[in-house]
Amino acid sequence: MMSSVGDTVSGDSQRLSPADDVSGSCRAAVTSEAAWSRSVMAERGLLVLFGSQTGTAQDVAERVGREARRRHLRCRVQALDSCDLANLIHEPLVVFVCATTGQGDPPDNMKMFWRFLFRKNLPASSLCQLDYAVLGLGDSSYPKFNFIAKKLHKRLLQLGGSPLLPVALGDDQHDLGPDAVVDPWLVALWDKILALYPLPPGLEIISPDVRLPPKYTLHYLPEDSPHPESDLLQPAAPQAAPCELHPFAARVVSNQRVTAPSHFQDVRLIEFDIAGSGITFRAGDVAMIQPQNCPEDVQQFCQLLRLEPHRRFVLEPTEPGTSLPPLLPQPCSIQYLVTHYLDISCVPRRSFFELLAYFSTNELEREKLQEFSSAQGQEELYSYCNRPRRTTLEVLWDFPHATCAIPADYLLDLIPRIRPRAFSIASSMLARPERMQILVAVVRYKTRLSKPRRGLCSTWLASLNPEQGDVRVPLWVKTGGMKFPADPATPVIMIGPGTGVAPFRAAIQERVALGCRGNRQPWGTLSALLLFQQTGASGCHRELSVLRLPTPVQGLLLPDRVGRAGDKGLPDTLHRLLQGPGGEGLCPAPHPGEREAGVGAAEQ
């Protein structure tokens, strides 16, 4: 399917000559060649808008921006929600790069744009002056594959926009990933754009062998300049509700391991003090945590790149219209930049190797880096980097000649920022208004690399010890996709197929706080229990202890009603659980042919 998309995109692209373009448009009215040239230069602007959840769409959008600059186009790259939507009607040329998340949902940084675009009162000719192209990034293993890109393309057409190309649908399931579609689509896109906006006389496309200037320039400050370190190390309490740009520095109250020391999975119950933050949440909502790199990795990174951690700098954009990174203080120290901003523990993308190749003075290194950044070298890049989950810091160790030659100005072009991590809130605000709890499974696994892989955020959170001083974590709350009934009397059956116990724990606390204590039992009217990941009754009892429920609830768990997620007999176990004692249950026995479908429906 993906190859057909690429063929459609490529086949639809027929490059026009500048003469054909001028004679077939309003530019034909321009009689002076000099005036026409000035008009073309003024119009040769491109806006690249992205909606990205994990950073892939943003990475592709930045790639479009780099290729635009090689064609002497004035280019701005920004998130959809940071775009002034009122000015969109005046934009002549826009490229949209958007991912699809969850079950056909838009990424967080395009939700405001999404709501605005689908307002019913928008005139049908709102975007009649707009030439646009849409590139979608998705995963064909999900039912609503690239739903956002398809719907965006359709809506832009309804509002009068003119598509340069058919919508392109990148697929993460393809052997070559989204690049299988992105590469040919970009070739077709530039043919179309250069037909509409030819290169000015005397200019040629900048060769890929030429390194483009960085997005920002670092200006070091004198070493004796004053600097309040506290402003850099801890975000201040915001005036309004905390958000990604203004997180709240929550104090860690407790950090307790809730699994046995001998158990393979380290799970932490972490409690935060959110008094005075303005944060509100309900069961099903999500805590967004902004993690940081560990001190050992920060030290190694600075040594590799020969950076002085305590040197302070200010950033200056190299091109007009480029905004400064919103989460980076000005002025800033190298230590803060590497600790809190640069994601040196992420698996680097293809664009990382493309830029790194420019800095290597070693021919063998440069050839290998160029291979990793080429379309033909993606399988080898996957084997070297993605499959073993090799980090950016480890890659820099492997290419020492390039690493030691990286100018500090290119750090923000080379390495993406640390993205926040989401954790389901595991407590109820009704029970404890000034506290918030999360359950964190510490990520640790082995690959073919000798060093175990560790999750950046979970490892950092597990290391925090509030007994050793004032420990702060930047966080904010996002509305979750899991909705519980507003009426506490509504019966609820909670099934967590691999999703964890946290939201259910919050819901139970919420109902207890609302007074759900039927039958004179302290555990209320809760009569449905959960199936957990552990094997056997003892495992389930250990998991139930995380809920902090009284003993009578745990006593309801019968030995023959214990199942492990993924077991072959799970449908029958689930049915017996719902039946209750005596065989009189909440649902009839499923037909043998319906059992697997029923489990699948529950998992979705």
Is 499 within any annotated ligand binding site? yes
Is 384 within any annotated ligand binding site? no
Is 101 within any annotated ligand binding site? yes
The residues that bridge with 475 in the sheet, in sequence order, are 248, 289
pLDDT-wise least confident of 84-98, 227-241, 275-289, 449-463: 227-241
Please determine, looking at this structure, whether the domain spanning 241-278+424-481 carries the CATH number 2.40.30.10: yes
- C-alpha 330/C-alpha 466 separation (Å) is 29
Is 83 within any annotated ligand binding site? no
Q: What is the pLDDT of residue 519?
A: 45
Of these ranges, 238-242, 303-307, 568-572, the one predicted with the greatest mean pLDDT is: 303-307
Percent of the chain whose pLDDT exceeds 70: 75
pLDDT tens-place string over residues 179-197: 899 999 999 999 999 999 9
Is 457 within any annotated ligand binding site? yes
Class of domain 2-196: alpha beta
Spatial neighbors of 171 by CB under 8 A, at least 6 apart, are: 1, 2, 138, 139, 140, 145, 146, 177, 178, 180, 181
DSSP 99-126: E-BTTTBPPGGGHHHHHHHT-TTS-TTT
Is 102 within any annotated ligand binding site? yes
Is 103 within any annotated ligand binding site? no
Is 447 within any annotated ligand binding site? no
pLDDT exceeds cutoff 80 at 249: yes
Task: Specify the DSSP element, H or E, that contains 132.
Answer: strand 131-138
Is 8 within any annotated ligand binding site? no
Res. 581 pLDDT band, cuts 50 70 90: low
CB distance 83 to 375 below 8 Å: no
Is 424 within any annotated ligand binding site? yes
Is 423 within any annotated ligand binding site? yes
Of these ranges, 235-239, 451-455, 515-519, 565-569, the one predicted with the greatest mean pLDDT is: 451-455
pLDDT exceeds cutoff 90 at 332: yes
Residue with tokens 């490529």: 10
Is 52 within any annotated ligand binding site? yes
Is 55 within any annotated ligand binding site? yes
pLDDT exceeds cutoff 90 at 520: no
- C-alpha 258/C-alpha 268 separation (Å) is 6
Is 427 within any annotated ligand binding site? no
Residue 251 dihedral angles phi and psi, to the nearest 5°: -80, 135
Alpha helices (runs of H) in 451-501, residue ranges in sequence order: 456-463
- C-alpha 465/C-alpha 62 separation (Å) is 39
Is 137 within any annotated ligand binding site? yes
CA distances from residue 360 to 212, 306, 308, 375, 411 in whole angstroms, order as listed: 15, 15, 21, 20, 15
pTM for the whole structure: 0.78
Is 82 within any annotated ligand binding site? no
Residue 389 dihedral angles phi and psi, to the nearest 5°: 60, 50
Is 386 within any annotated ligand binding site? no
Is 111 within any annotated ligand binding site? no
| Degrees, nearest 5: CA angle 229-232-235 | 125
Q: What is the pLDDT of residue 526?
A: 45
- C-alpha 421/C-alpha 294 separation (Å) is 16
Residue 51 token pair: 């909606």
Query: Angle at which helices 179-196 and 56-70 pack, to 10 degrees?
Result: 40
Is 422 within any annotated ligand binding site? yes
Is 118 within any annotated ligand binding site? no
Domain with CATH 3.40.50.360 in the chain: 2-196
Domain with CATH 2.40.30.10 in the chain: 241-278+424-481
497 secondary structure, DSSP code: S
Is 560 within any annotated ligand binding site? no
Is 517 within any annotated ligand binding site? no
Is 99 within any annotated ligand binding site? yes
As a CATH number, domain 219-233+292-414 is 1.20.990.10
Mean pLDDT value of segment 478-488? 87
Is 582 within any annotated ligand binding site? no
Domain with CATH 1.20.990.10 in the chain: 219-233+292-414
CB distance 69 to 109 below 8 Å: no
Is 100 within any annotated ligand binding site? yes
Is 459 within any annotated ligand binding site? no
Q: What is the pLDDT of residue 100?
A: 94
CB distance 25 to 36 below 8 Å: no
Is 323 within any annotated ligand binding site? no
Q: What is the pLDDT of residue 576?
A: 60
Is 125 within any annotated ligand binding site? no
Res. 491 pLDDT band, cuts 50 70 90: confident
Residue 38 token pair: 């000035």
Nearest-CA neighbor of 57 among 141, 3, 134, 2? 134
CB distance 225 to 434 below 8 Å: no
Q: What is the pLDDT of residue 226?
A: 66
Is 604 within any annotated ligand binding site? no
